[in-house]
Structure 1
């Protein structure tokens, strides 16, 4: 049965019920008891949509009560009975007002729910709701597209199924710590993190998490946006930039540097001859020779700055070792480098950005942290490369920091470009730890290139 015949049948049923109550009223002595049954008719209109049924049956029941009063009218009827009829009518229309208000509220709730559902289903951002234990309660279509899961596959599962290592293992502890201490790392802040798709692949995403109180329940809503394409374009732009830097650095080293070296040798030979002849311009020539040597060294320093990491796979470790030695000499601090096992980074872009992150972290430790001892640690696991810079400086309050430091922003940007994440932990008076974690997948292109280069040429 369609909606319209069913509604019509409801109208007829309520009309018959109201009429039956009217007939019952005629068979009984005059009093408010039977008439108050008309209130039940009004309440039943709660199940009919719109305002019209409620108003219509409000009028109908009022007419029946009035007819009943007219039929039983007698001058001998006490005023109390008439007052009771008046109270019955007041009760009827109070019920009408309550039903109309309830319908208005329910309609507003339905419209709000429909709008929310429309937003959830049409937004390009993934929206995920979890309970205090981290179990997924809702998973919109955009989230299905981003992560590759159907909603039915993840509802009731722990949200860490959407996270790669090491965040998957750390998530439960983070939630527990938040419930106990209220310390926030993501909730109400928003940051870029890495997500894990159903096929096991990882990707960068913007994540904003908010806390929602629903009565005695607490829910967390996460809004997710896949930024893979944006990061890919940024990476391509930076790779072009880095390639141009390497080209200029190579030209400085192999072109201008070699020319200046040759000119320096010639001028040195001419200087020696003029000195042997006691020529009056011998001192001038010696000064020219010194300037050429300085220009040669300056060109080489520029080329090393433009190409800080050698193209070999172990170039990052050697570059970081040199950086540590230079920090000792330039800043008069203790700076050490430790490589855990052998870490090979084949992708020169990844290696260069990691080097720049350490360079910035060491500089911040000396300039802002007033550190005396700095440790640089490079390690490699099955799924990731981790680079850490520790210092014993003054530190800072991470909760009070506004995140506006240009150095930290640049380090964050470099980490994101190579598909990694950056974490900065610090306490006042207890130094700072900067940790950059890069998945092994970020180095796959470099590994493939290295493998092709190492393969023997076909005969």
Structure 2
């Protein structure tokens, strides 16, 4: 449409001299012209949709066009209106512009100004046409999208609501358009939603715009459900566009996965305890019985060769007993269950020194003792695995363990060393514990008790591992009790 060649124009002008001037201007630029001299002639046609532009004199022989402008807007909704007049009356111009005309000229008409106005109208029409086409294409895409798509203005008022959104929220588009979008949010968010928009418009900072967030949404029937929301700011149109996915099934699957992982972890802990009990109650008793019989055999024989063989066998049996006792303590430290986490960590520090030559200094708060047996076991195993990492990776023989009771009834555990450290951005699979499972195992175990875990490290400056966990069992369900 940027080229006027052949574009149809309706010229309504009773004055022959003015009509001739306008026809010359229009023909020069290649417009196709239909001519009328009265309102009656103007209205006697059925091709209104063809016209790009309607040029009409304000005062026609059979009436003024003030009352006809709204009618013309209905008859030719895609045509622009341009008024020419011989009268210098400002009120006529105001009325015409209020009725949505594109321009207003007082005779005699300046050809250059008139042609410039036509050029501007043509350019605006081209942009509007392209914009309408783009909007139509976008609407077709949005209407067929699987995800819910909602647009709101700067005041949070819903501007569009696609069919997927209707299905997700239970509202029809006409019910929700022109309503505040906060109606779709959960009650805690609803109260402050307008504040979030105002803060973003003032500061440009937002936790939602330009990011993906998981939130709670509210259906028409009042039920809430989890969603993943992506919001884009489109300032040129003064709107925010939100793409919403219902993640109820994903969250349910994650919960089932967590429950399964929790059950597996609990079963593993129970198996370790069972194995520890077998070692303690059966294998160790058998080995002790063998020692007793070896002592009897040593005392009954006078053959020095046989006696020396029995002594050597007794030494090896002693080593076996020590190994089973150590395994029993590692699999299920009795001191952890009977005397608490702090005392168990003291035993662990001594064990690390004897087995790995690692000197562990301690700063232990006896009050930092979880009520939940699962929490005790998880924290103990995490501390042990972190100390294994010190042995294997830090290139130092010293470590420090701190156990603190925080004022908010949480427990803070830190395991630190002054070893070689590492770049935390390159962590990935760089570290692994003695079992090869790695620090991800620490995170997994802590997830069972809703604990938090993070590392601080720098090359050449050592590493500090931080753990925060609940002290009271009423904050985290215990899989051993089912609450």
1:72-151 → structure 2 map (5 Å cutoff)? 96-111=125-140, 115=145, 118=148, 149=187, 151=189
What is the CA–CA distance in structure 1 between the aligned matches of 2:421 and 2:449, rounded to whole Å? Answer: 27
Cα pair 1:24 1:34 within 8 Å, conserved: no
Greater relative contact order (Cα < 8 A, sep 6+): 1
The answer to whether the aligner puts 1:396 opposite 2:426 as a matched pair is no
The answer to whether the aligner puts 1:430 opposite 2:455 as a matched pair is no
Q: Answer with 1 or 2: which has the greater Rg.
A: 2
Which one has a larger percent helix, Structure 1 or Structure 2? 1
> Equivalent residue for 2:286?
259
> Equivalent residue for 2:390?
365
Cα pair 2:266 2:479 within 8 Å, conserved: no
Flag the 1:84–1:420 CA change in 2: closer, same or farther, 3 A.
closer
How far does residue 34 in structure 1 lie from its aligned partner after superposition?
12
Q: Which runs of 5+ in 2 are unaligned?
A: 1-8, 32-46, 56-75, 81-109, 151-163, 169-179, 198-202, 218-225, 433-437
> Equivalent residue for 1:11?
none
* TM-score where L is the length of structure 1: 0.59
Which one has a larger percent strand, Structure 1 or Structure 2? 2
Flag the 1:259–1:85 CA change in 2: closer, same or farther, 3 A.
same
Cα pair 1:32 1:84 within 8 Å, conserved: no
Cα pair 2:374 2:478 within 8 Å, conserved: no
> Equivalent residue for 2:52?
58
Counterpart of 2:311 (choices 269, 286, 291) is: 286
> Equivalent residue for 1:163?
none
* TM-score where L is the length of structure 2: 0.56
**Once superposed, what is the RMSD of the aligned Cα atoms?**
5.5
> Equivalent residue for 1:152?
190
Cα pair 2:344 2:380 within 8 Å, conserved: yes
Q: Which runs of 5+ in 1 are unaligned?
A: 1-17, 40-52, 66-80, 126-136, 160-175, 180-186, 198-205, 451-459
Cα pair 1:348 1:446 within 8 Å, conserved: no
How far does residue 446 in structure 1 lie from its aligned partner after superposition?
8.1
1:54-453 → structure 2 map (5 Å cutoff)? 56-58=50-52, 96-111=125-140, 115=145, 118=148, 149=187, 151-156=189-194, 226=251, 227-274=254-301, 277-278=302-303, 281-308=306-333, 310=335, 312=337, 314-381=339-406, 382-402=408-428, 405-406=431-432, 407-440=438-471
Q: How many residues align?
A: 351
Cα pair 2:446 2:452 within 8 Å, conserved: yes
SS in 2 for 1:419: coil
SS in 2 for 1:320: helix
How far does residue 386 in structure 1 lie from its aligned partner after superposition?
1.7
Cα pair 1:31 1:85 within 8 Å, conserved: no
> Equivalent residue for 2:158?
none
What is the CA–CA distance in structure 1 between the aligned matches of 2:477 and 2:234, rounded to whole Å? Answer: 50
